[in-house]
Amino acid sequence: MLKSLLSRLMTPQPQPLSTDEVRVALAALLVRVARADGAYDTSEIARIEQILANRYELAPADATALRLQAENLEADAPDMHRFTQAIKEGVPYDERLGVIKALWQVVLADGVREAEEDALLRLLSSLLGVSDRDSALARQSVADNG
């Protein structure tokens, strides 16, 4: 599935993704953000799995399996532009705002907010069509709620 998904995303005019493919694309974004500062630690991995389990009502083992798929996809993907494009086209704004909130949860999971992570979140917010204001409000909400 991952090779097929990656090749579909890399075509000049990618087709809309299935629900399962959107899940993997979102999970790959979470992994990319977690790896942005060069440290991919257990707190970030746990937060990614928690987000995936809650968002998609997955058992812990299924959330782990999805994260592992996403790690492989993220490692093979040259950039995140196609993932964000597919998510933007297939997910309503309110849900994309939820994606940004989930990304902020991963950034803040290790208790350290790095400049690389901030820059990546600004880029991803823009690519997902989420306003800077809404992204900042999502960050604040995550920070306030731990």
pLDDT at residue 109, as a whole number: 86
In the chain, the number of structural domains is 1
In a domain, 12, yes or no: no
pLDDT at residue 145, as a whole number: 82
In a domain, 3, yes or no: no
Q: How far apart are CA 60 and CA 63, in angstroms?
A: 5
In a domain, 112, yes or no: yes
Q: Tell me what the mean pLDDT of segment 25-53 comes to.
A: 91
In a domain, 5, yes or no: no
pLDDT at 1 exceeding the cut of 60: no
Q: Name residues whose C-beta falls within 8 Å of residue 121's C-beta, 6 or more positions apart in sequence.
A: 33, 100, 103, 104, 107, 135, 139
Q: How far apart are CA 67 and CA 110, in angstroms?
A: 18
Q: Tell me what the mean pLDDT of segment 79-108 comes to.
A: 85
CATH number at residue 82: 1.10.3680.10
In a domain, 91, yes or no: yes
Domain that holds residue 41: 18-145
In a domain, 53, yes or no: yes
Question: Residue type at 51?
Answer: I
Structure tokens at 42: 């257990």
Q: How confident is the model at residue 46 (pLDDT cuts 50, 70, 90)?
A: very high
In a domain, 11, yes or no: no
In a domain, 31, yes or no: yes
pLDDT at 21 exceeding the cut of 90: no
pLDDT at residue 3, as a whole number: 61
Q: Tell me what the mean pLDDT of segment 69-89 comes to.
A: 82
Regarding pTM above 0.85, the answer is: no
pLDDT at 33 exceeding the cut of 60: yes
pLDDT at residue 9, as a whole number: 58
Residue 16: strand, helix, or coil: coil
pLDDT at residue 83, as a whole number: 74
Q: How confident is the model at residue 4 (pLDDT cuts 50, 70, 90)?
A: low
